[in-house]
């Protein structure tokens, strides 16, 4: 295994560790707003690390481009989904007015 | 077993049951957060499996999963919003 491939595997495993720890940390938290913080670490830190590891493994190739697309999709849509879920939670518990734009 | 499949196993063996547990308990918003966690874990696990199996063509599955989970979760969020 070349040094670059070893670095790629380490980055991947660290990213997987972040995702696994994020899900485990979300378990004892109470309420959706607290759990969304754990989800943010998974989408904004874990996913880019996994994606970076796979891109390093493949180098400049169409496979890397597709992996980058998937990582970008998850990293961009994750905060949008967290925002939407937090907003609905706020509307249901009364902390966000229902009249705000959708 | 290569590191990619080890990561896949950790995701499917630890993170996915936790996501399923969160998605099956509590009120609707709690379950929605569980669905979001499960979506992220599924996408990463499919990425890892594609690499572990050495089949780049499998990457179309997490691509579609990432897009559909975004749309699906947004629809759930919209439907769970209280009516005016």
Q: Does the residue A98 lie in any domain?
A: no
How far, in Å, CA of B18 to CA of B11, rounded?
10
pLDDT greater at residue A37 or residue B1: A37
Domain extent at residue A85: 3-93
Long-range contacts of A62-68 (CB under 8 A, 24+ apart): A62/B56, A63/B56, A63/B59, A66/B56, A66/B59, A66/B60, A66/B63, A67/B47, A67/B59
Q: Is the pLDDT at A30 greater than 90, yes or no? A: no
Domain count within chain A: 1
- Say yes or no for a CB contact (<8 Å) between B29 and A66: no
ipTM of the prediction greater than 0.90, yes or no: yes
Does A91 touch chain B if contact means CB atoms closer than 8 Å? yes
Nearest to B10 among A16, A38, A62 (CB): A16
What pLDDT is recorded for position A53? Answer: 95
Cα radius of gyration rounded to whole Å, chain A: 17
How far, in Å, CA of B16 to CA of B59, rounded?
20
- Say yes or no for a CB contact (<8 Å) between A73 and B63: yes
- Residue B27 vs residues A44, A88, A92, B79, B81: alpha-carbon distances, Å: 26, 12, 11, 14, 13
Per-residue pLDDT reduced to its tens digit, A58-102: 989 999 999 999 999 999 999 999 999 999 999 888 888 876 655
Q: Which residues of A touch B60 (CB under 8 A)?
A: 66
Annotated domain spans of chain B? 3-80
Q: Does the residue A102 lie in any domain?
A: no
Q: Does the residue A100 lie in any domain?
A: no
Q: Is the pLDDT at B56 greater than 60, yes or no? A: yes
Interface test with A, best of B50, B81, B82, B84 (most A CBs within 10 A): B81
């Amino acid at each position: 295994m070349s040094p670059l491939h070893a670095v790629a595997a380490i980055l991947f495993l660290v990213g997987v560790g972040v995702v696994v720890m994020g899900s485990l940390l979300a378990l004892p938290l109470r309420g959706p707003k607290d759990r969304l913080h754990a989800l943010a670490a998974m989408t904004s830190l874990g996913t880019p690390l996994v994606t970076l590891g796979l891109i390093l493994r493949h180098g400049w190739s169409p496979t890397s481009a597709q992996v980058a697309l998937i990582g970008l999709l998850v990293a961009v849509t994750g905060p949008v989904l967290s925002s939407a879920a937090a907003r609905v939670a706020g509307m249901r518990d009364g902390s966000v007015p229902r009249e705000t734009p959708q | 077993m290569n590191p990619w499949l080890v990561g896949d196993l950790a995701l499917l063996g630890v993170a996915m049951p936790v996501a399923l547990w969160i998605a099956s308990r509590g009120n609707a918003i709690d379950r929605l957060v569980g669905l979001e966690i499960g979506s992220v874990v599924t996408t990463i696990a499919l990425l890892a499996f594609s690499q572990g199996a050495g089949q780049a063509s499998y990457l179309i599955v997490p691509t579609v999963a990432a897009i559909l989970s975004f749309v699906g979760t947004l629809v759930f969020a919209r439907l769970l919003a209280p009516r005016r």
